Amino acid sequence: MKPKELKSPFSFEERRVLLLDRVLFVPEYYDAWHTFQLPPFHDPLLFGNTHPVKIEYCSGNGTWIAEKARENPSINFIAVEKDFERARKIWSKIKNYALSNLIVVAGEALSTTRHYIPSHSLEEVYVNFPDPWPKRRHFKHRLITPLFAEEVARVLKEQGVATLVTDDPDYSALMIEAFHQSGFRSLYPDPWYTPHLEGYGTSFFETLWREKGRVIRYHQFQNG
């Protein structure tokens, strides 16, 4: 199936949270969160089993997470991508690869997590190359904040691991500060990251930034 075959199921005026055909639509500029309740992960509308669940934020076109889902059929994956055009590409991969262990959230990460991801329900969290929004006036758009780190701590199981990947040194420092403040323990000593993580997988941005000679920083933080 082609990405364009996924249509937005409502107009802006009719927007609502909706689970449809392996896509959870979480619209922007929305506040009636209580009108929708996400089924349990074991519900057939989601995964239909009790396998471990892992989530990736900033999934982009879905290259990384689709490959992980293909390699690990006994693990369930959630891809979260705010940009609808990119979310469509993830949905297309779900369909074309018949990935019953992957769903995509077309929506904003913090709101989705806060309102619909149960506490202590995830084995692992991944954040791959979030937009660093380097200009000061855009800092409010950054995903990685102490508030987001607190939400990650809530949804992760005890001893669960959050992996954050960036090529941006300033954003790396912010990640380290936010997750240390939220009670996480780094799996790496100072400077709290590694430039290589064997078997992690590749993505569009990982390939792009390596070709440009940038250092990729892999941070891993353990909960509790």
In the sheet that holds 185-186, the strands lie side by side as: 18-20, 23-26, 102-107, 76-81, 53-57, 122-128, 156-166, 217-222, 185-186
| pLDDT of 12 | 86
Q: How far apart are CA 191 and CA 168, in angstroms?
A: 14
Residue 135: per-residue pLDDT: 65
Count of the separate structural domains present in the chain: 1
Locus of tokens 């691991």: 161
Is residue 42 included in any domain, yes or no? no
Total residue length of the chain: 224
Catalytic annotation, residues: 131
Query: Bridge-partner residues for 55, per DSSP?
Result: 78, 125
Q: Which amino acid is at 185?
A: R
Let me know if residue 68 belongs to a domain: yes
Residue 116, in any domain of the structure: yes
Q: 158 vs 40, 49, 50, 101, 220, CA distance in Å?
A: 19, 21, 17, 23, 15
Any domain includes 35: no
Q: Is residue 13 part of a domain?
A: no
Instruction: Write out the two tokens for 129.
Output: 């190359």
Partners of 166 in the beta sheet?
Answer: 217
Element housing 126 (H / E): strand 122-128
Q: Is residue 114 part of a domain?
A: yes
Separation of alpha carbons 126 and 133, rounded Å: 19
Q: What domain range includes position 97?
A: 24-30+48-222
Looking at the domain assignment, is residue 16 inside a domain? Answer: no
Q: How many other CB atoms sit within 10 Å of the CB of residue 145? A: 15
- CB within 8 Å of 38: residues ≥ 6 apart: 19, 24, 46, 116, 117
| 183 falls within a domain | yes
The pairing of strands 156-166 and 122-128 is parallel
Find the CATH number of the domain harbouring 64: 3.40.50.150
Q: Which helix (H) or strand (E) holds 105?
A: strand 102-107
Q: What angle do CA 197, 113, 110 make, to 5 degrees?
A: 85
Give the pLDDT confidence score for residue 61 in this predicted structure.
94
Buried b (16+ CB within 10 A) or exposed e, 32-51: eeeebebeebeeeebbeeeb
Which of the residues in the chain have pLDDT under 70? Answer: 133-136, 138-139
